């Protein structure tokens, strides 16, 4: 199960696999070929249209319509941008 801001995300198994893959490589650019081979299987590698569809679905479910969290790197692939940790509240000492 995946959550964001404490809310369960209703993901298909392939959406979950894609998100988990990108999360394992958070901050790094993952090429189309790498993602297809590792998420869809060794028989895939050129079907970048799959990625466009699934990243669009993920962005909608993540509330990331502007692509700030799941970034497209044109002609190369995708990058999951880690969300910054919330800063601790200042203490009144």
Nearest to 55 by CA among 66, 44, 43, 41: 66
Q: Is the pLDDT of residue 82 over 90?
A: no
Q: Is the pLDDT of residue 85 over 60?
A: no
Q: How far apart are the first and last CA of the chain?
A: 40
pTM: 0.81
- Looking at residue 36, its pLDDT comes to 94
The label of the residue with tokens 């893959």 reads: 21
State pLDDT tens for residues 7-46: 667 889 999 999 999 999 999 999 999 999 999 998 887 8
- Looking at residue 87, its pLDDT comes to 61
């Amino acid at each position: 199960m995946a959550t964001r801001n404490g809310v369960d995300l209703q993901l298909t198994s392939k959406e979950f696999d894609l998100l988990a893959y990108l999360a394992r490589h958070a901050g790094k650019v993952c090429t189309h070929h790498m993602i297809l081979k590792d998420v869809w299987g060794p028989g895939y590698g050129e079907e970048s249209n799959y990625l466009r569809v699934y990243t669009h679905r993920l962005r909608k479910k993540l509330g990331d319509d502007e692509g700030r969290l799941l970034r497209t790197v044109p002609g190369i692939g995708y990058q999951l941008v880690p969300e910054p940790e919330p800063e601790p509240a200042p203490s009144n000492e």
